[in-house]
Chain A
Amino acid sequence: MSLAADAFVSQLAAAEPWPENATLYQPLKEDQILLSDCASSLAVQAYLRMCGLPVEVVCRVNAEYMSPSGKIPFIHVGNQVVSELGPIVQFTKAKGHSLSDGLDDVQRAEMKAYMELVNNMLLTAELYVQWCDDATAAEISRPRYSSPYSWPLSNILAYQKQWEVRRKMNAIGWGGKTLEQVYEDVSQCCQALSQRLGTQPYFFNKQPTELDALVFGHLFTILTTRLTSSELAERIKSYSNLLSFCRRIEQSYFEDKKGVIVPLIKRSRRGHSSTNQEV
C-alpha cells in the first residue's frame, strides 16, 4: 500500500475500538497449511493474545488469495483487512494497543533489528527447506499445498509456487546453498537469539513485545512439526533457554482458565492427525 493509503487506514483504524468479531484467516490446519505460513500465523495469534485482543481463527482453502498482499495470515477487523505481522502491529497501535511503548529508541532499534534477523534467517530457512529441498518438496509441500484442488490444477499450482519460491531464493543468494549450510545458518540465528534472551523471561525483560511473539511463532512451529528430517528441530533443542521461553509463552497465553492448553496446531505433516504434544 502507498503511504497515503497507509495514513488513511490508520485514521480509520483509530476511529473505532477493537470489535468482538475480529477474525484471522489461514489455510486449513490439518491438510493444507505449510511450515512457514503456520509460523507466521502463530506469531500473529500470539501477538494478539499478548495484547489481550480477542480474535477468532478461521480456516479457508483460498486464504492466500483473499489476502491483500498474498501472504498469510490476514485479519478482518471491522471493515478493514490487514495482512502480515508488521502492518498488523501498526494497525493495533493505531487502535491504541501496543506492546513496545515502554521501550526507548535504542531498545526499539534492537527489537526491529532482531525481528529482521528472524525474518531474514528463520523464515527464509523454512521456505528453503520446504520448497528447495527436493525430498521435502515432493513428499510434503507439494501434496499439502495442492490438496484442496483436483488434477490438473493441483499440479500446476504446486509447481508454480515452487518455481516462485526458488526464484526468490536465487535472487537473494540462497539458491547456491546446501541444506547443511542452511541448518548452520539456523543454528547461528538461534545462538544469537539465545545470547540475547539470556536468563530473562522475555527479550525486553519483564514484558513481552512483538519480537517475543515472532520468535515464539517460528520456534514453536519448527519444534512441533514433523518433516522428512528432524535436524532443524534438533538444532533448536540444543538451546535450553529458548525451549523454556516457548513453554512459558505457551502456558501464559495459550492456556484457558481450566488449565487446558488450547490446541495450537496438529503436529503431523504426513496426513494423520495426532493430539497436542509437549514441546
Chain B
Amino acid sequence: MAAAMELRCWGGDWGLPSVHTESLIVLAYTKFSGAEVTVSPIDWTWKTITATVPELLCGDSAVQEPAQILNFLRKQRFNADYELTARQGADTMAYIALLEEKLRPALLHTFWVDAENYANVTRPWFASRSPFPLNFLVPSCQANTALSRILLTKGEAPLHRITEVEGKIYSDAKECLNLLSYRLGTANYFFGNSPTSLDAFVFGFVAPLHKASLPSSPLQSHLRQLDNLIRFCDSILALYFSSDRPCPLPPVQETMDANLQKLTQLVNKESNLIEKVLLLCFPLLLHGFTVAFGRWMTTSAAAHSTNPTDQTPNPACPLQRALLLPST
C-alpha cells in the first residue's frame, strides 16, 4: 500500500474543514475515496506565503493542484470514480470546466475584490492565520492575484476595469448555479448513490459561499434559493465531516485480489444454488414423509385389529376407509 500521505492546506472555520476552495476539494475527495491522509494546516506558519496550497506529500513526491492530486490518488487505488461510465467521466470533465469558467471569477470577486466582504471577512481571517509580519502581506497578495486573474480572463480590452465586468461575471455565476441545480435535481449526488470527484469539486466551490457569513453578497442570496444545492452541501458535511460518526465506506473495488474475488463469487453462486435446491425440495420431502408415515400407521393398525366388523374408521387414514365403505 502507499506510504503515509500528508496534505498541506488552509485551516477550517465557519463549520467547514477548510475555507480554501482547492483544499476543500481535495479533503472531500479523500473522504469519498477512503484515503488516509494526515491533514497539516499551514496556518500560523511561513508556508502561508511560500507554499502552493493544497499540496500532497507522499514519500519523496509532492503533488500540487487539485486535478493532479486527484489523479495521483486514483493511481494509488483510491478511486471514487470507479463506477462511472465513460460518458459520465466525460460529463465530469465538462461540468468541472463550467465551474472553472463561470463560477470561479465570481467567487474570487465575492471574497477578495468586493470591498465590504474583503474588509470584514476575508482579510481578518487570513491575517489572523498568518504569522507576523506576513499578516500584512498574505491577504493583499492573494487579493491582487484574484483581481488580475478576473481582469485577464474576463476583462475586455482595451478598458480593463473591474466595474465593467462585475455585472457579467455575477450573471454568469448565477446561471452556473442554476445549471448545477437542474442537473442535481432531487438526487443525493450527481452520479448515482455514491459521491464522485464532481461532487468533490461542486462541494469545494459552493460550500464556502454557503457557510461564510458575508455582509453583502447577491450571489449568496441566490444560492440560498437553490434548496437542493444547500441540502447537498449540508448532507456531505454531516456524513463525511462530522466528528461524532464514522464516514460511510467507499464502494469496495479492486482492493480485493482478483483471484480471491472470483473464488468468492463462485462460492456464493454454489451456495445460492444449494439453497434454491433445498427450498424446492423441502415441500416434496415433507409430502413424501407424511405419506410414508400414514401408510406405516395403517399397516400397523390392520395388523393389530382382528375383528372384521370393527367399523370404526381409523382416524389415521380416513380417506382409505371412506373408499372401502361398502354400499349396504
A interface residues, Cβ below 8 angstroms from B: 1-3, 68-70, 105-106, 108-110, 112-114, 116-117, 119-121, 164, 167-168, 171-173, 188-189, 191-193, 195-196, 198
**Across the A-B interface, the 6 shortest Cβ-Cβ residue pairs:** A192-B90, A109-B179, A113-B94, A70-B157, A105-B182, A117-B97
Bound complex: CA of A114 vs CA of B87, how far in Å?
12
Question: Contact between A171 and B149 (Cβ–Cβ < 8 Å)?
Answer: yes
Contact B182 A116 (CB under 8 A): no
Interface size classification for chain B? 20 to 34
A113 touches B156 (CB 8 A): no
Within 8 Å CB of A113, what residues of B?
Answer: 91, 94-95, 97-98, 179
Q: Which residues of B contact A108 (CB under 8 A)?
A: 179, 182
Given contacts A106-B183, A168-B153, A171-B148, contact A70 B158 (CB under 8 A): yes
A195 with B89: in contact, given A70-B158, A109-B179 (CB under 8 Å)?
Answer: yes
What are 27 sample pairs from A and B whose C-beta atoms fall under 8 A apart?
Answer: A1-B168, A2-B168, A3-B167, A3-B171, A69-B157, A70-B156, A70-B158, A110-B94, A112-B98, A113-B94, A113-B98, A116-B97, A116-B98, A117-B94, A120-B97, A120-B101, A121-B97, A164-B157, A167-B152, A168-B152, A171-B149, A172-B149, A192-B93, A195-B86, A195-B90, A196-B90, A196-B94
Our pick among A68, A106, A195 for the contact of B182 (Cβ within 8 Å) is A106
A196 touching B164, Cβ below 8 Å: no
| Distance A2 CA – B102 CA, assembled complex (angstroms) | 16
B13 at the A interface (CB under 8 A): no
B residues whose Cβ falls under 8 Å from a Cβ of A: 65, 86-87, 89-91, 93-95, 97-98, 100-102, 148-149, 152-153, 156-158, 164, 167-168, 171, 175, 179-180, 182-183, 185
* Beta-carbon contact of A120 and B152 below 8 Å: no
Q: Is the CB of A119 within 8 A of B158?
A: no
A195 to B167, CA, bound (A): 35
CA distance A248 to B102 in the complex (A): 31
